[in-house]
Structure 1
Amino acid sequence: MAVRVFHVLASLALMMVVSRAALPPERYWNAVLPNTRMPKSLVDLLKSDFMDDDDKSTSVTVGKGGVNVDAGKPRGGGSHVDVGKGGVHVDTGKPGGGGTHVSVGGGGHYSGGGGVGVHTGKPGKRTDVGVGKGGVTVHTRHKGKPVYVGVKPGPNPFVYNYAAKESQLHDDPNVAMFFLEKDLRPGQDMTVRFGRTDDGYGGGAVFLPRGVSETVPFGSERFSEVLNRFGVEPGSDEAKMMKKTVEECEGRGISGEEKYCATSLESMVDFCVSKLGKDRVRAISTEVEKENRPMQKYAISAGGAKKVSESDNLVVCHKQKFPFTVYYCHKTRATSAYVVPLEGADGTRVKAVVVCHKDTSAWNPNHLAFKVLHVEPGTVPICHFLPQDNVVWFKN
């Protein structure tokens, strides 16, 4: 219950100072897509790992001092919201600094002397969001050390107009993601690792509510301001990776591609609905039985691949490397999606999502897929697995 309470209360607090009022992300999804199940990959990006699920009660008190909401456990656990002369304070957590705190007004530590402050987690292992006169700041800390993007810059294999570097053929785990459609048959072996976009690089990026994400400048013209907001040093690997994400979002797509970078769950929903409509829409992601499995050999299980969509009824959203969650979503021509059951050498079962492109004639001739598979653009259908945090949207 704590997760849900926090998101609702924190969103309400944030919206007191953010110009655009909106539903919390989960409620927005349910309002627009009431019959569509949210994939676990997206659910995970909406919640904090540092919050408890077993809060016992919720109480609301209105008195001279303002409003107090208490959703929690005895001995200091749970969630607390105070609205009074000093503004709003939300506390979801444990004694000793754990949990989540939201303050509006009153010059709280995370509100920059005014505005809104959100603090999630224990000291030395937390996420802070501040909305004040200076705008929005977001910091994710682990073991006392700031963790921002934490990745080495490099091309995104799911952007089809870039040329691969020679080094990628040797040290890029995405090499194993590409294969030919003819290989989608029971018993076929493939060596691959199913992870998340930011595995091994610090991670920690979560969705910001749209009302907050829209106050963060996202573009080349104000890139120095973006770095300043997140405390990233210009010229660092983090800065280069952030710049790469922004450039990919701003760049032209290939012929026949309709693309959009979503900086919130709500904006992702809006884009996909604009392309597919609201009726009979599904969203799926790769599901792995055991997390953090190493690269190993997987075999396609009996029954084989099941095609779930093709042609113009498909949108794929790829998670980008950025301090908060950003998705590169695109709709392309002549594309099919499959769900493929796999079993790893260690017994791990995977329900993998695969996207196959029938027409690759507009891709960069030096794209990673062509180098790995030794084929020419536009000659044969090329497929790739999707990481766990990527999402395929389609009409059922």
Structure 2
Amino acid sequence: MGFNLFHVITLFSLALVGSHAVTPEVYWKSVLPNSPMPQSLKDLLYTTEWNDEKNTAVDVGKGGVSVDTGKPGKGTNVGVGKGGVAVHTGKGTNVGVGKGGVGVHTGKGTNVGVGKGGVGVHTGKGTNVGVGKGGVSVHTGKPGKRTNVGVGKGGVRVKSGHKGKPVYVGVNPGPSPFVYNYAASEDQLKDDPNVALFFLENDLKQGEEMNLHFTKSNGKSTFLPRKVADSIPFSTKNLPEIYNEFEVKPESTEAEIMKQTLTECENKGIEGEEKYCATSLESMVDFSTTKLGKNVKAISTEVNTEERTRLQKYKIEVAKKLAANKAVVCHKQNYAYAVFYCHKTVSTRAYAVSLVGVDGTKVKAVAICHTDTAKWNPKHLAFQVLKVKPGSVPVCHFLPEDHVVWVPY
């Protein structure tokens, strides 16, 4: 079963300030105009988290900053621009702050203080707005369900209290089964659902039946904009700072998992492997296009049900080779925000495979076959599951739904 990564907060930061800033979606379209973004990646875009059940949204443009937080009809709206600040709490309180002074229209329980340092507003409903020379700060909501917005010269920073949705990032601590220089632990052999994704290339043929378990990541960790991701330390040398940033206890399971991901990213890959940990969607695009060129497409496994699938028998209907020795595979890692372990090897074949389960579930799966496994750890999960030795036969695995393969077209 999964576990809760953040006990207190989920951190989202926004640095898209200025006329030249672009969103990850816009960047994707500018680099890959003919390649649609897989749904698995769309689901990881950070904007979806800013529109959760508490309806907190932040927009930044040339005119300033607009913040809308709270349920419809009960929300707090804050607009920050060159002219000043306007606040509407949704409870009959309106505050306008500009060069000319301060205008307040108040409902019950609203206090407004104006001094040399700026303006302070408390609505009586858990919303506080402070306006000073340094910028604008907004605190709204009850303790534990709060949203903090700071607006200054450097841009916008949003720290949103967790809204009751647990954030899960994995099954158990341990190495990723898609990093090939690690040995599998006993817990992985018993509990990791990815065990059921490994098979031999000889089995990849029409009519073949396999017992498979296609999993969706429990993780709610989403992409950060590249400017923000690049500003956050991503190294085992900075673990105390990283734990503090995300309010993770150093001795917790969450801390152990984050350290494992950082270690896997820092360690040298196997011989012939070009690897890179992408901490943003933009950096994943850049790595993949650098290795394969811009005439590429990204493909993920798709399961035609919103419900979680179970381990069951699937029959192969069609298996089509996508690429040979020209693929970049990116595996989603367990971390506080979306991080992908991307790698390219010269001994990889990619396939598109259509399957149907005994319960009628249809899957458009991506399969990756490795033709040279001689340099893998002899105790890797694949060898223990398939009962084969390194370098003896091609080893294959299906990709979980939130992993991606990049292939030329």
One-letter code of the match for 2:206? Answer: P
Cα deviations by residue, 1:89-108 (Å, 9 ceiling, x for unpaired): 9x9xx969xxxxxxxx9999
Counterpart in the other structure of 1:295: 310
TM-aligned CA deviation for residue 21 of structure 1 = 6.0
- Closer/same/farther in 2, CA of residues 378 and 119 from structure 1, 3 Å limit: farther
TM-score by length of 1: 0.76
Which residues of 2 match residues 325-344 of structure 1 at below 5 A?
A: 325-344=338-357
Amino acid at match of 2:305: K
Q: Closer, same or farther in 2 for the Cα pair 1:110/1:275, shift >3 Å?
A: farther
Secondary structure in 2 matching 1:48: helix
Instruction: Tell me how far apart the structure 2 counterparts of residues 154 and 110 of structure 1 sit (CA, whole Å).
Output: 44
1:307 to 321, 328, 352: 321
Q: Secondary structure, in 3 states, of the residue corresponding to 2:48? A: coil
Q: Which runs of 5+ in 2 are unaligned?
A: 1-11, 53-61, 92-117, 121-126
Contact kept in structure 1, 2:332 and 2:341, CA below 8 Å: yes
Report the CA distance between 1:327 and its aligned residue: 0.6
Amino acid at match of 1:354: A
Letter in 2 for 1:330: H
Aligned: 1:250 with 2:270: no
Q: Is the 8 A contact 2:209 2:316 kept in 1?
A: no
Match of 2:333 in 1: 320
Partner of 2:210: 190
Partner of 1:37: 36
Residue pairs, 1:1-396, within 5 angstroms: 14-16=15-17, 22-46=21-45, 47-48=47-48, 51=51, 81-84=79-82, 141-143=162-164, 147=167, 149=169, 152-197=172-217, 199=218, 203-279=219-295, 281-302=296-317, 304-311=318-325, 313-396=326-409
CA contact 2:76–2:90 (8 Å) conserved in 1: no
**Following TM superposition, by how much is the alpha carbon of 1:172 offset from its aligned partner in structure 2, in angstroms?**
1.7
Shift of 1:45: 0.7
Structure whose CA Rg is larger: 2
How far residue 118 of structure 1 moved from its aligned partner, in angstroms, is: 10
Provide the secondary structure at the position in 1 that maps to 2:199: strand
Q: Structure 2 vs 1, CA of residues 212 and 347 (structure 1 numbering), >3 Å: closer, same or farther?
A: same
**Counterpart Cα distance in 2 of 1:257 and 1:149:** 26
1:9-52 Cα deviation digits (max 9, x unpaired): x99x63349xx964111001111111111100111111416739
1:36 partner amino acid: S
Whole-angstrom CA distance in 2 between matches of 1:118 and 1:189 = 57
Give the drift of 1:378: 0.5
CA deviations on 1:146-171 (whole Å, 9 max, x unpaired) are x4757531110000000111232222
TM-superposition CA deviations, 1:221-252 (whole Å, max 9, x none): 11110000000000100000000000000000
User: Are the aligned partners of 2:128 and 2:139 in contact in 1 as well (CA < 8 Å)?
Assistant: no
Which one-letter code corresponds to 2:43 in the other structure? D
SS at match of 1:225: helix
1: CA distance between counterparts of 2:358 and 2:294? Answer: 40
Gaps of 5+ in 1: 1-9, 53-61, 97-104
Whether the 8 Å CA contact 1:120–1:127 is kept in 2: the answer is: yes
Give the AA of the match of 1:191: N
Identity score, percent: 53
Question: Counterpart in 2 of 1:4?
Answer: none
**1:373–1:129 distance in 2 versus 1, CA, 3 Å:** farther
Q: Distance in 2 between matches of 1:168 and 1:130?
A: 43
CA shift in 2, pair 1:374/1:125, >3 Å: farther
TM-score of the superposition, structure 2-length normalised? Answer: 0.74
Q: 1:81 Cα shift?
A: 4.6
Kindly state the Cα deviation for residue 211 of structure 1 after the two structures are TM-superposed.
Answer: 0.8
Return closer, same or farther for 1:151/1:186 CA change in 2, 3 Å cut-off.
Answer: closer
Secondary structure, aligned partner of 1:290:
coil
**Which amino acid in structure 1 is aligned with residue 203 of structure 2?**
D
